[in-house]
Structure 1
Amino acid sequence: MWRILLVEFFSDLRSQKLRTFLTLMAITWGTFAVVILLSFGEGLSNQMIKGMLGAGNRIMMIYGGQTSISYEGLDIGRRIRFVEEDIDLVSRTVPYIESISPQYGRFTSIGAGSERTNTYMEGVNPDFEIMRTMYPAAGGRFLNENDVTYRRRVAFIGNNIAERLYGEENPIGQEIYVDQTPFVVIGVMEPKLQTGMNYGPDSDRVVIPYTTFRTMYGHRYLSSILLRPTDADHQELINSEFRRVMAAKYKFDPSDEQAIRMWDFIEAEKMNRQVSMGLQIFMLTIGLFTLIIAGVGVANIMY
C-alpha cells in the first residue's frame, strides 16, 4: 500500500513540476524570511543593550544643581555642590548601595614623547571600573586602593588615547604627561561598544586616582557622584533616600528636583530593553505575515 502511494506521489510531482517548484519556493522563502527577520531583530536588540551597558552597568550619576524652592527662609538659586565627605555619608546612611565613587573631571592636555592631545580626565576610585565597564586589556590593570591611599601618579587610559600617543608600542609602564606632570600608565581599556556618552567616549578618556586629582588641581567640589544599587529594583528608594540625606545636610526641600540632577542609566536601560522587545515583536509580526502570505500562495498553487 505504501509503495503504491509513493509511486502515485512521485508520479504527480513529475507531471506537475512547475506547481511543485513554486510550492517549495513559497514554503522555503516564507520560512527563510521569518528566520532572517527574527535573527536581525535579536542581533539589533543585543547590540543596542550592549552599547547602552558600555556607558555604565546599572548605575546612577548624580550632579549638584541649584535650588528652585524656598526652604526654611533660604532663597532659591543656591548652588548645591558635593564634597568627598558626602561619599562616606551616603555609604553609611543610604541603603542598598553596592558601589560608589567620587568623580572629579576636567579637560586636560596629555602627551607622550612628541605626541600631544587634549582629552577629558577623571579622578575616581577603584569601584569606577565595574560601574563604567572600563576593563583593562591583557597586561594592565585598573586603579587600586593603594593608588588612592598614596596618591600615586598612575593613569588608566582609553584605547584610542593609547593608539594616538603610542601607536603600536605597548604603553604599559611608560610615562604619560598630564598637564606637564609625569604619570605612569598602568592599564589600557579593552575596546568596547558604547552608545551613551558623557564628555566623549571612554576610549578617549584618562582616569587617575581622585586623591591625586585633588592634590594636583586643588578642587574642593566633586563634579558628580557615581553609584550602583545592589539591585535595579532599589533605584527609586536610593533616589529618594539620597535626596533626603543631602537635603538634610545642605538645607533644601527634598522634593526640589532642580537641587540635585540625576542621570539614571537604570531607567534608560529599562526603556532600551522595552524598545528592543518591541522591535523583536515587530519583526516577528512581519515574519508571520510573510509566512501567511506564502501559505496563501501555496494554497493557490495547489488548488
Structure 2
Amino acid sequence: MLRPYRSVLYIPGSKERALEKARDLAVDAIIFDLEDAVAPDEKAAARATLARFLAEVDYGPRARIVRINGFDTEWGRADAAAFADHPGVDAILVPKVNGPADLDAVAAVTGEMPLWAMMETALGMLNAAAIAAHPRLEGMVMGTNDLAKELGSRFRADRMPLMTGLGLCLLAAKASGRVIVDGVYNAFKDEAGLAAECAQGRDMGFDGKTLIHPAQVEITNEAFAPSEAEVDLARRQIEAFNAAQAQGQGVAVLDGRIVENLHVVTAQAVLAKMEAIRAQAMTAERIAVGAE
C-alpha cells in the first residue's frame, strides 16, 4: 500500500525524552537525527541510545529513517554500520549528497537498506537527476537551510531564491518515482507562515514536509492530505469517465470540464492517498489502544 509522507519530523537521536514522546505523535515519518542535532562529543552515545530505542520502542506505522553523519566525518561509517541491518529502521538518510558516488559509498556499508538523500548543496541540485536514479534510493529530503547558506541567498517568504533547486529536485524525484519532501519551516510558532509554505510545497508537487517541532504536525498533515472537495471530485471524475466509456466515448464531461484518462489517473492517486492516510491512522490507533 502507498505510504503517506505528509509530515516528517526530525527527532534528535540523543534525546531520550523526545524519542519516547515521538511514538505518540501523529506524524507519517520520523527522521532520527545523528547529524546536525547531536553535538560532536555526544555522537557515539547518541548512536547507542538510538539503536536501543529503535529495538525496543514500537513506533507503529510511522516510517523510521535514520540520518547518519557524513562519511567525511569520523562517525559516518560507524553510524551506517550500526543501522545497516537494524530491524527497527526503514531507511538511512545520507547528508549533503553531491552525487551518486556519495550514495554508493553508503550502500557499500548498508547493503540492501533503502537510502534517502539530503538535497542541500548546489552540486547536489545540479546532479539531482543522477542522484534520484540511484538504484538504492527511495526518497529525497530538501535541506533548504543549508542550501540557502551555500547560495548566500536572503530569506523571502515566497522562497524565490530556492526555486531553481526545489524545482530541479522535484523533477528528478518524479522522473524516477521517488518520494520527495520539502524543507523545514524555521518559525515553528508562526502557524500562518507554515500553512502558506505547506500550501506552496503541496501545490508544487512535494509529498510532504520536514518539521522541527510537534506543534507543526497538525497544519502539515492537513495541508498535504486531499481535501473533502478533492476526494469528492476524484470520485465523480472516475464515475463520469466510466459511464462515458460504457457508452463508447473516450472522454467525459463533468462540471463543464473535459475528463480524460489522465484526469482519472490523478483521481485514482488522490483516492489511494486518502485511503493510505486513513489506514495508517487506524493502525496507529489500534497500537495505542493495545499499549494502554
More strand, by proportion: 1
More helix, by proportion: 2
Higher relative contact order (CA 8 A, sep 6+): 1
Normalising by structure 2, what TM-score? 0.26
Normalising by structure 1, what TM-score? 0.25
Larger radius of gyration: 1
